Each structure stands twice: as C-alpha cells, then as structure tokens.
Amino acid sequence: MSDKKTKNNMMKGAAIAIECLERAGVKVIFAYPGGASMELHQAMQTSGLRVILPRHEQGGAFAAAGFARATGKTGVCMATSGPGATNLITGIADAYMDSVPLIAITGQVSSTLIGKNAFQEIDMIGITRPIVKHSYLVFDAAELPRIFGEAFHIANSGRPGPVVIDIPKNVQQQLCEPVFGEGRISRTYHPCHKIYESDVESVREAIRKSERPCIYAGGGIITSDASKALVKFAESYNIPVVTTLMGVGAIPERHPLALKWLGMHGTVYANNAANESDLLIALGVRFDDRVTGPVSTFAQKAKIIHVDIDRSEINKNVRVDIGIIGNVKDLLDALNKNPIRKRYEKWHAQINEWKRKYPLKYRQDNKIHTPYVVETVYNITKGNAVIVTGVGQHQMWAGQYYDYKRPRQFISSCGLGAMGFGLPSAMGVKIACPNELVIDIDGDGSFQMNIQELGAIHTEDIDVKMIVLNNQHLGMVAQWEDRFYGSKRGNTVLKNAKVDRPYPDFVAIAKGYQIPGREVYEKSDVEDAVVEMIKTKGPYLLDVHVEYQEHVLPMIPPGKSYKDILVE
C-alpha cells in the first residue's frame, strides 16, 4: 500500500477511501465509473480489490446485495454522482427492506458546487435518508478513516442495512496524512441488547401453558446465524415451524416440524398453524402485510411473543403480549439449555391433516408448468443449488417447489419486490460462493429489466446458470387481472403480435453476449435441458416456454384473511 503515499506520507482522499475498504476486509466491489468517481477508480487500479464492472449501476447494487445475502458480509457498490447515484436507489431500498448490509459509495460534485445545481449534482443524502441506516457527506479527507470504520460497523451490526458515503470530487483529490483506526459510534448507536433471564422465563412460562404453539421464524434467524439453534429449539420443545420468505432455509424444509412459509402464497398448513395457534413465537420477523393480511384477523386467539433486535419493530404492526429486544440467537441458546417437551398430540394431528388435505399441487399434463420445471431443477441438483430469483410468479413457485436445506440458499427481493433483482444478484452470489451451483430462476419480464448484466457475467467469466420461465406476460399482475379484473389486460402482455414466435429471442441475445443457451418448448425436453445447462462450463441461459394462464396457488386475496385462501 506504500505506493499510494507521497514521500511525506500524504495521500489523496480517493486512495484513503480505497485503503479503508481494504482494511475493512473488502475483496470485491461492484463499481461503475463516471466524472465524479474517476479518482476512486484510479485509486483502485493499484489496490488489491477485484473490481466488477456492472453494465448498469442498479445491477451493481443488486450484485453487491447478492454478495452480502450469500455470505453475511457487507457488500460494496460504487457509482458516480447524479444519474449514477440515483441508479443505485432501488438496490439501496431493497437492502433496507430486507436488512442487508451494504455500503454504497457515490462520487459527488466538488463541495464548492454543492447546492448550485452543478452538472450531475444530486442530493444523495436527502434522497436516501428514508432508506438507509445512516449516511455521510464527506468534507474532509482526513475524516475518511473514521467514517468508513463507522459505516461498516453500522451496516453490519444490530439489524443490518445500507449506509451511503457521498464523497465530493475535491475531497477525493485532497491530500492529507491519514490516521487509520476503527470508527465506532458509541453515544447514539446501541444495536446490541442483552437477553435477560426474565425474558427467557417469560417464554418458557408461555410454552408451559400452551397446547398449540407455533414458531414463526424470519430473516433475523439467518442474519444472527441462529438456524442451528432454531432447529434445536423446535426439536427439543416439539414445536412446528413456519417461516417467512426471508426465513426460508432457517430450518430444512423437509424436516418433520417444518411447514414451509406462510403468507399470501404460503402453504395452507403454514397459514393455518400460525393463525390457529394459541402461542405464536415470532423470531426475527416484522409482521409484514403479506403475512398478516388485516392485522385484526391475524392469530386472533394466540398469545404472541415477538423477539427482535430492532426495538422499533416491537408493536409496530401487530400488538404483542411479550416483546423481547435482543439477539434471537442469545434467547434460543438460553431456551435450549433446559427445554420443555410436550407431545401436543392433537395439535400435530391437526397439522398433519392440513398437510394431507392441502398439499402444494399443480396440473399434471403434457404441458410445461413452472412448478414442474422447479421440481425438475430440485431433483437434478438434489436440493443443493443456491437459487436466486427475480420477482413475480416464478419467484413464488421457486419458493414453493424447491425444498431448501440451509440458510442463504434462497435469495430473493422479498420486502421491496424489485423486478430485475435476479440476474445481477446471482452474479454477486456466484462471486461470493464460487464453489456453489448458482441458478437464477427468472421470468421474462423481470429478466429483461437487467438483461445487460449478461455482459458483466461473460467478461468476468461468472458461472451463473439462468432459467427464464417465459410466459410472454407480466404473470403476477396478469394473475390479479384474471382474479379481480375480469381478465382485462392492462399492459401486461409482453409478446409481440407482429411475430408468430415468442419475443424477444433470449437465446439469440445471450449469444450476442457470447453466452450459450437453449430454448425448450416440450415437457419431455426439460430434464435433458437442465442437465445440459448444469454440465456446460461457464454461464448458460435456458429459455423455457411455459403456460401463461397458470396461477400461483394457494393465494390469500388482498385484504382477506387466511380463512379466505384460494386453492384452485
């Protein structure tokens, strides 16, 4: 690192920033250059960082988030000022909604021009304020070591989330002698809360009195590395487990106590178990509307325990009987020391009856149905692949029909529901986990939103497998049109009426990026095509043409309760 310094140990602000990243343990950054970030890119050329050039800043933000979701480490992305910075917004918002640790570095116009509507000036701090944990506008290069130290601490402590560091160009060019050290916020930022013995005993007492307990596990289980503790807790106490989409993989989905996930498109038995329990133990969740429906109808007869590291989540959406602020792993570890095991024979019998009566199912015929494709992928990969999705019907089917074994195996934009997430996020996941089989299961609408990242995938030789489940529609919106708007299409058809074949030709587009691919029209070809995709060295695109009339079921209609769930 000495080549970055002048003879008198003076360094440019840009070089200081990059050294801060290296000192924070960053190995990979997703960065797109521009006038206000050129100094940073020049500094990276003499660093040890691997710089991935996305083809769009949004792709870079999603890729950094994919890296973070797959590892638990803080992802880093970078863009220039103005449109470069604003193109990061969706990725930052996605990280905020799903509690993903992310550092977004943006170039800014010179500090002397701020507030004067200079070329490519944008108030990044003001724009991102509602969707970050914290943000910094840097006016002195000497402050960079402290700011970066604090930023990484904030992003990946407590409830993780995104942090923005906005660095004016003149600060990047400023010479100073840096003092490196770890920045910490101590007076106003206290993300860790102790679990008290009284908290543990209150949970144990509630379990003693319960006859129909249910564990409701969310992304906080995975973030806190509490999956093993959760499984031990469920087994020791003999309590069934439902998860959120963010919590998928927190317990192996073929575990006898696992009921998969609940909510609008969750299983009937998961929704019934949560809502008809007499004790709902909510661990690292936020009671989002896709899970609860109208809160007045959610788990009406249950005593609710809510454990979360974020104080603001307690009683925010659902009033609870016992609110515990702290690390969920600490609570589970304490509960596991002296378990209370009851048989709950009637309760488990009821759940088994729901599972028998309302299994996940789809039409069995000679047509290609999306669930069949997902099941085929599961069988061929033996359930070991990391599945990344876009957003839409395919996302729900990928969640339903692939049984996940471990945390961080299902990666999706759950809170924000951002189309275009799948391809760039899969790129970040594969870079983070080069030895894993990473498959992007996407829809034709969602895939096109960041299709340009095929360029980054090829040039960086990123071995991502891509399955486009192509129904020529914005399937989820079309489903709502079918269910609630008399099938009147409101700009949800993607096919081109001027041609008699599906449009666009995804395999031809992939070929333009020098990525091989294959189209599939017949059900009998699906298995062979998936095997070919997996065996092919390097990235591969599989364009599978599926039925557009198909609906994701079960489905709880908007504004309705679990009792109104549609199964056909």
What's the CATH number where 425 sits?
3.40.50.970
Whether 51 maps to a domain, the answer reads yes
User: What's the confidence (pLDDT) of residue 184?
Assistant: 63
Residues 20 and 142 reside in one and the same domain: yes
Residues 165 and 219 reside in one and the same domain: no
Query: Rounded to an integer, what distance in angstroms lies between the CA atom of residue 415 and that of residue 50?
Result: 30
Q: Are 396 and 362 in contact (CB under 8 A)?
A: no
Q: Are 164 and 124 in contact (CB under 8 A)?
A: yes
pLDDT per position in the chain (568 positions), as tens?
A: 434 555 568 999 999 999 999 999 999 999 999 999 999 999 999 999 999 999 999 999 999 999 999 999 999 999 999 999 999 999 999 999 999 999 999 999 999 999 999 999 999 999 999 999 999 999 999 999 999 999 999 999 999 999 999 999 999 999 999 999 866 665 678 887 899 999 999 999 999 999 999 999 999 999 999 999 999 999 999 999 999 999 999 999 999 999 999 999 999 999 999 999 999 999 999 999 999 999 999 999 999 999 999 999 999 999 999 999 999 999 999 999 999 999 999 999 999 999 999 999 999 999 999 999 999 999 999 999 999 999 999 999 999 999 999 999 999 999 999 999 999 999 999 999 999 999 999 999 999 999 999 999 999 999 999 999 999 999 999 999 999 999 999 999 999 988 888 999 999 999 999 999 999 999 999 999 999 999 999 999 999 999 888 999 999 999 999 999 999 9
Catalytic choice (119, 139, 180, 484):
119
Residues 380 and 497 reside in one and the same domain: yes
Residues 379 and 509 reside in one and the same domain: yes
Domain that holds residue 251: 197-357
Residues 163 and 117 reside in one and the same domain: yes
Give the angle subtended at the CA of 505 by the CAs of 500 and 510, to the nearest 5°.
Answer: 170
Catalytic choice (427, 466, 476, 555):
476
Residues 520 and 396 reside in one and the same domain: yes
Whether 53 maps to a domain, the answer reads yes
Whether 137 maps to a domain, the answer reads yes
Residues 210 and 336 reside in one and the same domain: yes
Token pair belonging to 457: 């995938």
Count of structural domains within the chain? 3
Is 533 strand, coil or helix? Answer: helix
Picking from 357, 382, 413, the residue at the C-terminal end of a domain is 357
Whether 552 maps to a domain, the answer reads no
Residues 394 and 430 reside in one and the same domain: yes
User: What's the confidence (pLDDT) of residue 1?
Assistant: 40
User: What's the confidence (pLDDT) of residue 358?
Assistant: 97
Residues 348 and 381 reside in one and the same domain: no
Catalytic choice (57, 121, 375, 519):
57
Whether 562 maps to a domain, the answer reads no
> What values do phi and psi take at 360, rounded to 5?
-65, 135
Query: Rounded to an integer, what distance in angstroms lies between the CA atom of residue 318 and that of residue 287?
Result: 7
Picking from 357, 391, 408, the residue at the C-terminal end of a domain is 357
Residues 157 and 227 reside in one and the same domain: no
**Concatenated DSSP letters of 270-294:** HHHHHHT-SEEEEES----HHHHSS
Token pair belonging to 43: 């500094």
Let me know if 120 is a catalytic residue: yes
Query: Rounded to an integer, what distance in angstroms lies between the CA atom of residue 60 and that of residue 75?
Result: 10
Is 342 strand, coil or helix? Answer: coil
Residues 172 and 202 reside in one and the same domain: no
* Alpha carbon distances (Å) from 213 to 182, 267, 359, 392, 399: 44, 18, 22, 32, 24
**415 HSE (CA, 13 A, CB side):** 21
* Alpha carbon distances (Å) from 75 to 98, 431, 472, 478, 540: 14, 11, 33, 34, 25
> What values do phi and psi take at 379, rounded to 5?
-65, -40
Query: Rounded to an integer, what distance in angstroms lies between the CA atom of residue 86 and that of residue 128?
Result: 9
- Outline where 338-434 has alpha helix (H): 345-357, 370-381, 393-401, 422-432
Is 406 strand, coil or helix? Answer: coil
Q: Are 79 and 60 in contact (CB under 8 A)?
A: yes
Whether 559 maps to a domain, the answer reads no
Is 166 strand, coil or helix? Answer: strand
Catalytic choice (12, 73, 169, 465):
169
Picking from 113, 143, 176, the residue at the C-terminal end of a domain is 176
Residues 157 and 205 reside in one and the same domain: no
Q: At 270, which CATH number?
A: 3.40.50.1220
Q: Which of 356, 411, 405 is nearest to 389 (CA)?
A: 411
End-to-end alpha carbon distance in the chain: 63
Whether 192 maps to a domain, the answer reads no
Whether 363 maps to a domain, the answer reads no
Q: Which residue bears the tokens 């515990």?
A: 324
Let me know if 119 is a catalytic residue: yes
Catalytic choice (4, 5, 27, 120):
120
Name the residue type at position 538.
Answer: G
Let me know if 395 is a catalytic residue: no
**Beta strands at 175-176 and 11-12: parallel, antiparallel or unpaired:** antiparallel
Three-state SS string over 248-261 comes to CCCCCCCCCCEEEE
